Amino acid sequence: MSPEAIAAFVALGFTIISSVVITMRGLAKIELNLREYFEKKQTETYQVLREDIDASRDLFGESLKAVKQHSETAHTRIDMLIIKHQDLELYIRDNYVEIDSFNAVLQRLEKTIDAMDGKIDELMSRR
């Protein structure tokens, strides 16, 4: 081999090695840029996710507060109904009418209505 061929092969080897080194450095820069980009995007995504989670917690808390208020209102209404029912039971207990006396009053009412019917019929027949 001639010295020119050896020099050409050395130059070719040097060119290949320098090209590989330059390409590797370029790929390393691209990798660093990609890592920074994805870390930045991941941080932004985590922030958005945390904000959404906080908003969801607030909404959930408000929902529970509304449910609690609704249950307290319903409980108050039920308590009021129970008290009214107990008052009614006490009124019935205190003002209880036996069947015999009720039937006697009912018969008196029927007699009064029959007497009124008779009087109304008598007045109608006069005309």
Burial 70-100 (b: 16+ CB within 10 A, else e): eeeeeeeeeeeeeeeeeeeeeeeeeeeeeee
CA–CA dist 127, 122 (Å, integer): 9
Domain boundaries in the chain? Answer: 3-69, 98-127
Return the ∠ at Cα 122 (arms to 118 and 127), rounded to 5°: 150
pLDDT in tens, 45-89: 999 999 999 999 989 989 999 999 999 999 999 999 999 999 988
pLDDT in tens, 78-110: 999 999 999 988 888 888 878 888 889 999 999
pLDDT at 89 (0 to 100): 87
Return the ∠ at Cα 91 (arms to 98 and 99), rounded to 5°: 10
pLDDT at 9 (0 to 100): 87
